[in-house]
A = this chain, B = another copy of it.
Amino acid sequence: MFMHNKNLMYTVRVSEPNPQLASLMLEQFGGPQGELAAAMRYFQQGLADEDPGRKDLLIDIATEELSHLEIIGSIVAMLTKGVKGKLAEASEETADLYATITQGSGSHTLSLLYGGGPALVNSSGQLWNAGYIDSIGDPTCDLRSNIAAESRAKIVYERLINITTDPGVKDALGFLMTREVAHQKSFEKALYSIENNFPPGKLPAMPEYADKYYNMSQGEGDSRGPWNQGEQWEYVTLNPADGPVNGGDGNPSVKLAAKELKAINAVAARTQSNPASDPTTGADLGAGPGAGKTTKSKTKA
């Protein structure tokens, strides 16, 4: 069960209200790389994991991420404290309030719809959705997803730090960024303490396709590197007219029962196009008289 300690994990000292900056901070409250996504990712995994050590790790970090969610949410709440009061009390001239609200960066919605409270949206107002969470219930995959997620969160914090002048906010962002680095290290250790973690899962790859690199984008710019050269790779350039890699006629096929075949043929006949026709079309009607070959004549001068 969860408990809550009324102390923030990290004391936050914001210099002054700034609703525009607040709306940028929402990226890590309700954005895809933010703290709720992190907490829920690890919590879900922890609930279903069979390995006691990894389960403990996942719940430890999920709990810490919830504590980070509280920190970033508190930053938002401090940054909006000024506009919140003024909007609720209409304590400023209407025109001044309008100017404050519309100074850009999504802060208008944060004020008008959410009343300045931290909301589970990103810096553009996009609602958080669970599609941000990529857990699939296989530990070797989920740990890789966690490693990647921590690295992304580190960078978004770095970008926020780079544009924040408020020293108190900057300091707290530094703490949060640092913890993502520590978490990434933990997840890396957890991944590599599983033996034979590659390839993930149990089914072996088909050997005839596992070591091939298909060169499918061609032209000036074709490159070689360790990802497609060396002893692990066979480099295959597919030519534009090549057949399928497994031979065959390159078409999908299915065996239909007689009734199915009859039905699908009826559909096909009913909706067949006549390639030899030269129909007048809606566009022809719409282009007005004089529609000939060149679209030039059909476009307005």
- Which residue from chain B places its CB closest to the CB of A13 in the assembled complex? B253
Q: Is the CB of B130 within 8 A of A132?
A: no
- Number of A interface residues in the complex (CB < 8 A): 242
- Which residue from chain B places its CB closest to the CB of A101 in the assembled complex? B163
**Residues in chain B near residue A232, CB distance under 8 A:** 185, 189, 292-293, 295
Selected contact of A201 from candidates B27, B118, B158, B293, CB within 8 Å: B158
CB contact list, A225-250 vs B, under 8 A: 225-228, 230-233, 238, 240-250
Q: Is the CB of A295 within 8 A of B210?
A: yes
> Within the oligomer, what is the number of copies of this chain?
6
Q: Is the CB of B188 within 8 A of A281?
A: yes
Q: Is the CB of B47 within 8 A of A207?
A: no
Q: Is the CB of B219 within 8 A of A63?
A: no
Q: Is the CB of B218 within 8 A of A240?
A: yes
Selected contact of A53 from candidates B43, B87, B273, CB within 8 Å: B273
**Residues in chain B near residue A189, CB distance under 8 A:** 225-227, 232, 279, 281
**Residues in chain B near residue A67, CB distance under 8 A:** 1-2, 216
Selected contact of A124 from candidates B121, B222, B287, CB within 8 Å: B121
Q: Is the CB of B275 within 8 A of A223?
A: yes
Q: Is the CB of B244 within 8 A of A299?
A: no
Separation of A163 and B90 alpha carbons in the complex (Å):
8
Selected contact of A282 from candidates B66, B88, B193, B285, CB within 8 Å: B285
Q: Is the CB of A198 within 8 A of B272?
A: no
**Residues in chain B near residue A296, CB distance under 8 A:** 204-205, 207, 210
Separation of A202 and B217 alpha carbons in the complex (Å):
31
Q: Is the CB of B181 within 8 A of A199?
A: yes
- What 0/1 pattern do residues 133 to 144 of A give for CB contact below 8 A with B? 111111111001
CB contact list, A58-91 vs B, under 8 A: 59-64, 66-67, 69-70, 73-82, 84-91
CB contact list, A3-19 vs B, under 8 A: 3-17
Minimum C-beta distance from A124 to chain B (A): 3
6 additional contacts (CB under 8 A) given A109-B122, A218-B240 = A7-B243, A11-B250, A60-B217, A85-B261, A116-B137, A231-B292
Return the 10 tightest CB-CB contacts between A and B, nearest first. Answer: A115-B137, A124-B125, A11-B248, A7-B250, A85-B263, A6-B219, A198-B286, A85-B264, A192-B279, A204-B299
A-B contact pairs, 23 of them (CB 8 A): A2-B2, A2-B66, A2-B70, A3-B217, A6-B250, A54-B225, A60-B213, A88-B202, A95-B165, A119-B135, A120-B133, A126-B126, A128-B129, A144-B152, A154-B200, A154-B201, A158-B202, A192-B280, A192-B281, A193-B227, A196-B287, A198-B283, A204-B299
